[in-house]
Amino acid sequence: MEFRFSPEEEAFRQEVREFLRQEWSEEATEGGAESPLGYGGGRGLDEIRRFQKKLAQKGWLTLAWPKEHGGMGASIMKQVIFNEEMAYHRAPQQLGVGPDRVGPTIILYGTEEQKREHLPRIANAEVIWCQGFSEPGAGSDLASLQTSAVPDGDYFVINGQKIWTSLAHVADWMILLARTDPDAPKHRGISYFLVDMRTPGITVRPLVDMTGRHAFNQVFFDNVRVPRKNLVGELNRGWYVAAATLDFERSGINRVMAGIRLYEELVQYARETERDGRPLMADPTIRHKLAELKIEFEVGRLLAYRVAWIQSQGRIPNQEASMSKLFGSELQQRLARAGIEMLGLGGQLRPGSKWAPMAGRIADYYLASVSTTVAAGTSEVMRNIIAMRGLGLPRG
């Protein structure tokens, strides 16, 4: 079977490329742009926000949202093309989790009041959202979370802690999971809330990752009062709302496309660089490894396209999203290892060193890739989902 984009879709791809040539100079982006946390490399927050505003003005932040909710009603494949080009050109597709996770979740499960209040502000790039799911004792086993939400009149009072919360230090709002029925089975006593980060009682503390960047945070809740109207979906049924959010998170093609760009640069480096008097590409071990990676990137791309097709049918991908996430995140690590081995000792040099091959991108990518098989669900969790929901195997 041969897959082709329509002439209209290819014209849109060219439109996105021309926009990026005018509005996003890659020369200003140094290292880390391929990182799962690299939302613009060396760019400052204000510059990235201005770029987001330009995307919002074109309607590209919410391409595939329904028109009645502030989107363009574009096809899922147009959204895929946009995601591909943004990732390939190392441009920040969005800031936070509003357009790809929060918005679609509110469209599915939110009240009319929640839609009126939050969807336009996401579509116009007015707010930054973060995701408060993981806790120190609840990551892979997310349903073990202990942050509590106790009803008190027209409010819930929230106490607890979240961790690995990306961009919480700059976020305006958070989607948060909290336990509302401590006596229910762990998957059934959880509720899903929208939390204003300016609410009294919220404390954000930075977590600096091994690349030296501050994107992660710890967030503490001390008697934080959240209005009942901010409950998304049914009380104690938030696990099922969260499952949809996670499926949206795991289904993107971004991790594959960012890797393809770095792979192409690695191939060029192998062609142009000599070692012991001959090009690196003359080494059969290097040629074979690059050939294997090329095939794997094509597989990763097709897995992501399959997820997009399922979404185009009006369904939420589940095991398919897990397959794409699992393969894509582990492929990132395989690419990083291959790059470090190919570049030798120089591959460990970070951006900023004049001796660093490929401007230090491989070193940064290698460090950042460590978290890819943990963030958004560990590889073990992904394999369990594929086994149980995809293959119908019994729970281990």
Rounded CA separation 298/321 (Å): 16
Rounded CA separation 13/80 (Å): 10
Cβ-Cβ contacts under 8 Å for 225 (sequence gap 6 or more): 152, 155, 156, 157, 158, 199, 200, 201
Rounded CA separation 141/154 (Å): 31
**Catalytic-role residue among 135, 249, 296, 320:** 249
Given a contact cutoff of 8 angstroms between Cβ atoms, the answer to whether 50 and 58 are in contact is no
> H helices of the chain, where?
7-23, 45-57, 76-88, 103-109, 112-123, 238-250, 254-272, 284-312, 319-343, 361-369, 379-385
Q: Is 249 a catalytic residue?
A: yes
Q: Do the strands 173-179 and 129-132 form a parallel or antiparallel pair, or are they unpaired? A: parallel
Given a contact cutoff of 8 angstroms between Cβ atoms, the answer to whether 140 and 133 are in contact is no
At position 148, the amino acid (one-letter code) is: S
Given a contact cutoff of 8 angstroms between Cβ atoms, the answer to whether 40 and 47 are in contact is yes
Q: Which residues pair with 239 in a beta bridge?
A: none
163: left (phi over 0), alpha (psi -120 to 50) or beta: beta
Query: Can you tell me whether residue 183 is helix, strand or coil?
Result: coil
Residue 251 CA to chain centroid, in angstroms?
9
Residue given tokens 């395989």 in the structure block: 334
By annotation, the residues acting in catalysis are 249
